[in-house]
Structure 1
């Protein structure tokens, strides 16, 4: 019975989450048209709302550990669910994602994403995509902020191993910026697919930054080791033993 009740609560939460996105998008559209700051304010407001509503509607609390960056750096998070997108963005003053090009056509997400400085990338061919990422990021560096790139490129469930893609290393080499790894256990509570959301505390941990200057291979090895080690620790803390 308790699982059935939690499933219903999760369904209601999921529905209202997208309704809230529409409402926030409509309310903030005039401000977003006037200034990119208006779009940033809208995204932060939505992140705060989801964190608040998740706490009382489905019993899922969110905890931020470590020091979220406020300067111009790259941020490389573990990606397990839509919630980590919101929590990581909401923790920083001026985040901007590298995201799949198709998302720029998504209602609200696409328009506001482009307005806050997100960079769409066509991932059809890896070599072309990497060059495009570097060129687009360099062209947009005048807009200060925290560049967020998911090093595995997609959502990966807890306990599943997947390769880290070289695009993050290419940006690290070309941009010469520090990289802040981020670990999480949110996938234990909010899976990649399905309606069910579990009760508990999802942790998002900003790890010590990796300074520029390493060889790409060494950087990639260190990035993967630090994110995976910390995420495995957080998964175990959440009761996941897979």
Structure 2
């Protein structure tokens, strides 16, 4: 049954997404904020397909921890593609940090550029951080939330990847709070997995980390809290906790969406 539902969902998802990508090209002529409302509608239709075909829904906890005014950094755990399709339903007009090559993808990249996402050239090394901060300053001036995946890529349930320094740079340079976002999506929607499982994904916003900590201190605080909360949600859903290696892994370039 799971395989059949997964097949039906994938067919429906890719067919509907193709129809929307081409059929909604006209919205690129709209003002940016109006186009974002259409994106939110599209994301809600994907949620409808998840509920009706897969039997997959989600629950949000800790919404009171989201700042009501002003910009902030949302540091999100990233276990699957599922959460990337929910950010516009969970947050008000987020700007997601993503690798520059995604803007080159025909049609999809046009929408991302119009929505004013923050692109990063990860091959430029030091310049990548500078360009990320520059784009984030513009988003901060608009009062929008800035989304970053601090581990830099999708991380399977139970696996550990080190946290990258980009999130701490944003925190220090912009002087705004970090809101950690824990989840357990990987239990139901695996990384690069065909099978999707019925159930209830939990997303939890943790209390903000207020400005004022050193770079090392905020990195340690974020990782400690976000890993513990995500492990708790994963274990609640019957999954394994993360096993952290005894020998530290090297940090890499600034985090970005895969």
- TM-score, with normalisation over the residues of structure 1? 0.92
User: Is 2:40–2:89's contact at 8 Å kept on the other side of the alignment?
Assistant: yes
Range that drifts further, 220-229 or 106-115: 106-115
Count of residues in Structure 1 that have an aligned counterpart in Structure 2: 238
In the alignment, which residue of structure 2 is the partner of 1:232? 231
1:15-44 per-residue CA deviation (whole Å, 9 max, x = no partner) reads 222222233334443233221022211221
1:29-178 maps to which residues of 2 (within 5 A)? 29-67=25-63, 68-71=66-69, 72-178=71-177
Distance 1:22 1:43 in 2: 14
User: Is 2:61–2:202's contact at 8 Å kept on the other side of the alignment?
Assistant: yes
- Segments of 5+ residues of structure 2 without an aligned counterpart are 242-258
In the alignment, does 2:5 pair up with 1:9? yes
1:44-89 per-residue CA deviation (whole Å, 9 max, x = no partner) reads 1122112221112011111111114553211110001111112233
Could you tell me how far 1:122 is from its partner in structure 2?
1.1
- TM-score, with normalisation over the residues of structure 2? 0.87
Could you tell me how far 1:143 is from its partner in structure 2?
2.8
Give the RMSD, CA atoms, in angstroms.
Answer: 1.6
Distance 1:212 1:62 in 2: 31
Could you tell me how far 1:240 is from its partner in structure 2?
0.7
In the alignment, which residue of structure 1 is the partner of 2:244? none
| Compared CA separation, residues 90 and 70, structure 1 to 2 (3 A) | farther
Could you tell me how far 1:8 is from its partner in structure 2?
2.1
1:194-213 maps to which residues of 2 (within 5 A)? 194-213=193-212
In the alignment, which residue of structure 2 is the partner of 1:20? 16
Three-state SS of the structure 2 residue aligned to 1:211 is coil
- Segments of 5+ residues of structure 1 without an aligned counterpart are none
Three-state SS of the structure 2 residue aligned to 1:124 is helix
Could you tell me how far 1:140 is from its partner in structure 2?
4.2
| Compared CA separation, residues 108 and 203, structure 1 to 2 (3 A) | farther
User: Is 1:32–1:38's contact at 8 Å kept on the other side of the alignment?
Assistant: no
Distance 1:237 1:188 in 2: 10
